Each structure stands twice: as C-alpha cells, then as structure tokens.
Amino acid sequence: MEVKKNWIPLHWANAVNTLDGEVAWRSPSNIALVKYWGKYGRQLPSNPSISFTLKNAHTNMRIKYSSGNGAVTLYFEGERNEQFEQRIKRYIESINDIYPFLENVDLEIHSDNSFPHSAGIASSASAMSALALCLCSIEKKVFNTLGADEDFFYKASFLSRLASGSACRSVYPKLAIWGEHPEIEGTSNNVANPVGSRVDPIFHTFKNSILIASAKEKSVSSSAGHQLMEDNPFAEVRFSQARSNLKSLMEAMAKGDMAKFIEIVEEEALTLHALMMTSKPSYILMQANSLILIDKVRSFREETGLPICFTLDAGPNLHVLYPFHIAKEVEGFIENECRPYCENGLIIQDEVGDGAMAI
C-alpha cells in the first residue's frame, strides 16, 4: 500500500493541541460513468472508474470529539442508529494503523442526508467521505498537520476509500477518477484525483435527474456484489473493457464527442447489471419500470436527436444525464413520459457539483 511518506501513525502522545473540539463537513454523492465493480486487497479497485460529483444529494456530518476511550455514538437524522454506528466503529478500528489516537478519543457523530431516506439512493459515498473529511479535520486540529489543501484532500480521499471505495471520488469537484490506468496521467489505486480541465466544459454543466423506479431496499449490497466478481466468469474481460472504456471516454470528453460519451456511459450501466445477472448466484436489481424508462430515454433521443442518456448504479433507478442547455426539453419529457413509471412519482433533480465543503 502506498502511504505518503509523512504519514506516520498518529498517537495521542504526539498531539500538539487539545483532544476536544468539533468539526463538520458537507460531502456529496457521486454517479459513476465507468463503474468500479470488483475489488481486492485493502479496498483496491479491480478496474479504474470515473464519476460526476453531484450537488444536491449530500451528507452533512458534524463530529464532537473529546478525550476518552474510543466510544462512538452515531445519530442519523436526529436518532441514534446502531447499525450505522457499528459500521463506523468497525471502520475506525480498521484504520488503527493510521489513526491510533482515536483509541483515546470519543466521537459523537451527527449525520443527515439531503435526500429522502425512502428514495433508495446509495448514501455510503456521501456519508463515508464526510466521515473521512471530518477525521482529517480532527487530525489537522489536534496535530497541526495537513496544512496544504492538496495534502488534506489526498488523505481524505485515501481514508474515504478505506471506508467505501466509491466515496474516494466524492471529495473532488465536477469529475473524479480513481484507479490506476497506465495511459492516463494522475491515476492511482489509493486515491481519486480531480479530472479538472481535461474535459470539455460542457461536462461541467451536466444535470442528473434520478428517476426512482423503485424505492425498495436492494436485495444484494454493493459490497456483496463486489465479492461475487471474484468468481464471475467474465471478470477479466470486464476489467479490461473498463480500462478501454475509460480511455475512450476521457478522449470523447476532451473533444466534447457526445455520441461516443452516450455510447460508453450506457454500455457501462448495462454491463454492470449484466455482471450481476451472470454472478453465482445470479441476481437482478432492475425492475420492470427500469426497462420501460430505459426504452423511453432511448426513444426520446432517437426522435429528437438530443444528447441525453442514462446510467444506473447498483439499483433499479435511472440516472438521466444531459447538458444544461437542453434541460427545458428534457425536463418536459421526464415530467410527461417518465414520472408515471416512478414509484410515487418520485424524481430527484441533481447536477454536477463542486465537491465537499467544510460547514
């Protein structure tokens, strides 16, 4: 594992400031264009991925820390949540080699999501990146380290990854890339990196309408899905397809080649679900309405020639992607033709955002 040279394990004996205080971050969710699906070792990705950082779907997290003996208390949307608390406890234990001082600190965590709990959208990327950012702020306050933004976000992305792979991309604005690619500069398995100005600015204006085909909880978690890739007969072909799709997507985005962008993004979404269907045991997360909505998006594109496409995460909901300048037409289409196929008519409007911020 590549750990930056100056990352000595931080013990409370080395603290330069008091072990009492409060930190808070807002961190967004993200939607992958090339999907991370399959991992090895300590949360390392089997293939590289890239995502849009979202704006409206985010977690606000506030942590009060005080000297103690490693107790974690977690309030989610105002109520104690023991399941989430256990996950965070396990995570804190798992990073004991990096932050041994947390054994001497009690954490009281307050976490709130901007999106409805009932929408069935994944919250681990926003919550786990918010947690990692808060831990880095605690480090900064207690040890006077991570002074430069670049160091701060590098470590926050690293710690986010150890909590939930896709979370490492959420800390950066607009688009973030994660996973080594020999032909793409600034890629690493350890952390995500911002894509910055390597793409046509049109991709910084993208909107994302999330059509909630079903708000039911997923039958198979992403973590279990990643594990099933170990025995998937298509795994190696998939990992090389992802590398090649990432390279082509970066080239298409640099040129503003919308047709190529659409082709790759939809191929990635359907491949992800094909991998679930070809896992042992096989499973299907799409619902009947997901297929109807896919068909509607494709027909609308064919009829109008407008650059709209869809992607899916590990669930049944459609993320419709389109540039801001065609928002009026697309939103009319979504309202009239898609809303009837959404559970309780639920649609969440989002767009490319500016990454995490201290609050």
CA 3 to chain centre: 22
- As measured in angstroms, the least distance from the Cβ of 143 to ligand DP6 is 27
- As measured in angstroms, the least distance from the Cβ of 24 to ligand DP6 is 23
Minimum CB distance to ligand DP6 smaller for 164 or for 188: 164
- As measured in angstroms, the least distance from the Cβ of 272 to ligand DP6 is 6
- As measured in angstroms, the least distance from the Cβ of 224 to ligand DP6 is 9
Distance CA 318, CA 209 (A): 8
Minimum CB distance to ligand DP6 smaller for 123 or for 145: 123
Minimum CB distance to ligand DP6 smaller for 32 or for 109: 32
Distance CA 236, CA 240 (A): 6
Minimum CB distance to ligand DP6 smaller for 266 or for 313: 313
- As measured in angstroms, the least distance from the Cβ of 161 to ligand DP6 is 8
Which residues of the chain form contacts with ligand DP6 (CB under 6 A)?
A: 32, 35-37, 49, 124, 164-166, 222-223, 226, 272, 313-314
**Among 348, 316, 329, residue whose Cα is nearest residue 208:** 348
Minimum CB distance to ligand DP6 smaller for 94 or for 299: 94
- As measured in angstroms, the least distance from the Cβ of 186 to ligand DP6 is 18
Question: Where are the extended beta strands (E) located within 179-281?
Answer: 192-194, 206-211
Q: Is the dihedral of CA 13, 15, 17, 18 positive or negative?
A: negative
What residues have CB less than 8 Å from 196, skipping those under 6 apart? 174
Distance CA 65, CA 20 (A): 5
Distance CA 209, CA 332 (A): 12
**Among 290, 313, 293, 291, residue whose Cα is nearest residue 301:** 293
Q: Is the dihedral of CA 43, 218, 130, 108 positive or negative?
A: negative
Minimum CB distance to ligand DP6 smaller for 213 or for 314: 314
